[in-house]
Amino acid sequence: GLGPGWSVAPAARPDCGRRRGHCAGDFGRQIDVEDTESELGRLAVVLNDTFGRMNAARERVTQFTADASHELRTPLTVILSDSQGALRQERTPAEYRATLEAIQLSALRMKAISDALLELAQGDVGRPVAPDDCDLADLADEAVALRGRFGP
């Protein structure tokens, strides 16, 4: 017991193994609730709901990180393959210029992605994020040009 008139039934005691799981970031696990009408039961329901939302948020962050990584990988691949190709054999000045323009376009794309990620991070800390217009035709043209460079 905890003192006169206080006691904690074994079923209401914290499950230390389960609690450690949540502390380690395993929010997919739920607290078993038998009596949702008791104070502890209502608390467990609220915690389960919170853990569910935290787990969903972490999954969205994980997916976003994977998507951002993929978006950065494409221009990096262009930069690396074009520069390696240019260094592998002698080219005409026009070919070098075309290669450098493709590398610059890819670097500018990476900068735009990086700037957008920074802007999102600033929004996460309470700074306002300004919307930005983009031309879908330009994006589509860029995607077609990149796809043409790497084949079907």
Domain span at residue 88 reads 71-150
The whole-angstrom separation of Cα 92 and Cα 3 is 89
Nearest to 117 by CA among 78, 80, 67: 67
pLDDT tens digits along 49-87: 888 888 888 888 888 888 888 888 989 999 999 999 999
Q: Is there a domain that residue 20 lies in?
A: no
Whole-model pTM: value is 0.51
Each as own residue / partner, the long-range contacts of residues 52-61 (CB below 8 Å, 24 or more positions apart, any chain) are 52/27, 54/27, 55/27, 55/28, 58/25, 58/27
Would you say residue 4 lies in a domain? no
Query: Is residue 25 one of the residues assigned to a domain?
Result: no
Which residues lie below 8 Å from residue 32, measured CB to CB, with a gap of 6+? 44
Number of domains in the chain: 1
* Residue 75 near residue 107, CB atoms below 8 Å: yes
The answer to whether residue 62 sits within a structural domain is: no
In sequence order, what DSSP letters do the residues of 95-114 get, joined into one string? HHHHHHHHHHHHHHHHHHHH
pLDDT tens per residue, range 91-148? 999 999 999 999 999 999 999 988 888 888 777 666 665 666 777 777 677 766 666 6
